[in-house]
Amino acid sequence: MAEDADALAAMEKLLSPHCRVTRMSDGALIADWKRTRFLGLATTELQKFTSGIPEERAELVTGLMRAGCVTGRRKKYPDAGVGRRLGGVHLLIRTLGFGRVLRLLPLAAPGYARADPPSAEEVGRLKRAVLSHSSRSWLVNGDCKSEAVTAFVLLRRRGLRAVLHVGVREHPFALHAWTASGGLCIPDSDPRGHAFTPVLSIDCGGQ
How far does CA 73 lie from the centroid of its chain? 14
Residue 30: band (very low, low, confident or very high) from pLDDT cuts 50, 70, 90? confident
Residues with Cβ < 8 Å from 30, sequence gap 6 or more?
A: 15, 19, 20, 21, 38, 39, 40, 41, 64, 69
Looking at per-residue pLDDT, the higher value among 25 and 182 belongs to 182
Residue 177: band (very low, low, confident or very high) from pLDDT cuts 50, 70, 90? very high
* Of 24, 46, 141, the residue nearest 91 (C-alpha): 141
For residue range 86-125, what is the model confidence (pLDDT) as tens digits?
999 999 999 999 999 999 998 888 776 666 778 888 899 9
For residue range 132-167, what is the model confidence (pLDDT) as tens digits?
999 888 888 889 999 999 999 999 888 788 999 999
pLDDT at 207: 42
Q: What is the per-residue DSSP string for 36-95?
A: TEEEEEEHHHHHHHHHS-HHHHHHHHHHHHHTTS---SPPP--HHHHHHHHHHHHHHHHH
Looking at per-residue pLDDT, the higher value among 161 and 50 belongs to 161
pTM of the predicted model as reported, rounded to 2 decimal places: 0.64
